[in-house]
Amino acid sequence: MVKDKYFKKKKTLKINGKLFEIDKALIMGIVNLTPDSFYSESRFSNIDTVLKTIDEMLKNGADIIDIGAVSTRPGAKSVTEEEEISRLLPYVKIIRKQFPEIIISLDTSRANVAKLFVNDFNVSIINDISAGSYDSKMFETIKELDVPYIMMHIKGEPENMQKSPDYEDVTIEVLKYFSEKIAKLKLLGVNDIIIDVGFGFGKSVEHNYQLLNDLGKFKIFGLPILAGISRKSMINKVLNISPKDALNGTTVLNTIALLNGADILRVHDVKEAVECRRIVEYYFDN
C-alpha cells in the first residue's frame, strides 16, 4: 500500500471566532438525548449520567461533543421542534455551565433550533443530517450564525430511507449532491463546511462499503470529511451481531476511514477511537 500523505495535509475551521487547525483527525463523542437511539448504551435519561459520560469522553481525548435529541435511526419518526428543544434545553444549559470551554456540536436539521443554541449556549458547530433539505432556512441561518456546518448525504428520511435504497452509482450520486450543496453555501459566503457521506442513511450495506472504499474521492472538495460508522448496521449485518457487540468492527472501519482520508471520526467509544487514530498516525510517520 502506498501511504497517502494527504492524511497529513492541514485543514482549518473557524470555531468560536478563532482559527482551528485540523492537524490530526478529530474525535467526536456522541451524546444522544433520545429515548430510542439504535444503540441502547448511548441513550441517557438523567443529567448526572450525561455529565459523567462527557467528562470521561474528554479525559479519553474527545475533541468535540456531538449532542442530539432527535433519533435518526432507520424507521425513526420525527418529533416536533418544541419537543426537540424541550429535550435539549435542560441538558445543554448544565453541560455548558459544567464544561464552558468545550466544542459542542449540535445534531439538528432545524434552523430555529440551531439559532437558539448557538446564540444562547455557544454551540460551536451545527451537524445537519439533511444538508439543508429539511429546512429551507438552514443555509441562510448558518451564514448568519457563522459557525462550521456539517452536512450529510441522506436519501429520503429516517422513517423511510432504508426501504430499498437504489443508486445507479452511489459514489457519483453523492459527489454530485455535495458539489451542488457546496456551491449554494459558497454563494452565500459559507466556507467552514464539513462533509459526511452518510453511512447507513439511505444506503444498503454494499452502498456503504463502496463509499468507504471511495472516501478518498471526496478529497476533491478540499473540505474536512467526517466518518460516522460507529456500531452501525454495515458492521452488524456483515458479522451478524448487535450494536452492543460492534466495537471491534467499528475500530476496523474507523481505521479504514482514516487511511482513506477521514478528518473526523464520530463515535460512541472515544478511547478506542483515539487509540485507532494514534496507531494510524504512527503508521504514516514510519
- CA–CA separation, 29 and 54 (whole Å): 8
User: For residues 76 and 157, is the Cβ–Cβ distance under 8 A?
Assistant: no
CB neighbourhood size of 24 (10 A): 16
Helix 170-188 and helix 138-145: axis angle, to 10°? 50
Contact 124, 16 (CB under 8 A): yes
CB contact at 8 A, 201 and 72: yes
Q: Which residues are known catalytic residues? A: 232, 266
Phi-psi domain of 18 (left: phi exceeds 0; alpha: psi -120 through 50; beta: other): beta
3-state secondary structure of 51: helix
